[in-house]
């Protein structure tokens, strides 16, 4: 089906572990984004990508790594998870960075 998917939908991991959140879109949108949603903060941008092999930091990039070898995939890696990274993570894509973005269903990550 066309759209944007995220996996896993739920993840529990331990402090210090590496974890990768996957994002896949079928629209061939150039732009892709990773956000985290936390109470009192709304949606904050972690990283974004303008095209394959082009990525840049957002508002809260520390502790995260991204890659984009293919247009349709944009994985987010927490290299050494911390409790402060417990959050809901949303991936989004768009044809332009400043117009409508289309969001995936989210991944709820708990770091214990």
Between 8 and 16, CB nearer to other proteins: 8
3-state secondary structure of 84: helix
Specify the stretch interacting with other proteins by CB under 8 A; choose among 13-21, 65-73, 74-82, 95-103. 95-103
| Shortest distance, position 27 Cβ to other proteins, whole Å | 14
Gap between the Cα atoms of 40 and 63, Å rounded: 21
Residues numbered 7-66 forming contacts with other proteins, rule: CB under 8 A: 33, 35, 40-45, 48, 50, 56, 58
Q: From the CB of 31, what's the least distance to other proteins, in Å?
A: 8
- Count of C-beta atoms within a 10 Å radius of residue 23: 25
> For strand 19-25 and strand 4-7, is the pairing parallel, antiparallel, or unpaired?
antiparallel
Nearest Cα residue to 41 out of 12, 84, 105, 82: 84
CA-to-CA distance for 25 and 7, rounded, in angstroms? Answer: 12
Indicate the residue among 12 and 50 with the shorter CB distance to other proteins.
50
Which chain residues interact with other proteins by CB under 8 A?
4, 33, 35, 40-45, 48, 50, 56, 58, 90, 92, 97-106
């Amino acid at each position: 089906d066309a759209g944007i998917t995220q996996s896993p939908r739920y993840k529990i991991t331990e402090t210090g572990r590496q974890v990768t959140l996957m994002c896949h879109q079928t629209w061939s949108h150039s732009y892709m984004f990773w956000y985290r949603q936390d109470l009192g903060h709304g949606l904050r941008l972690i990283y974004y990508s303008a095209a394959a092999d082009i990525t840049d930091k957002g508002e809260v990039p520390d502790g995260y790594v991204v890659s984009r070898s293919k247009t349709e995939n944009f994985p987010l890696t927490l290299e050494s998870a911390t409790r402060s990274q417990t959050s809901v993570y949303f991936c989004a894509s768009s044809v332009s960075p400043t117009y409508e973005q289309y969001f995936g269903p989210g991944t709820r990550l708990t770091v214990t």
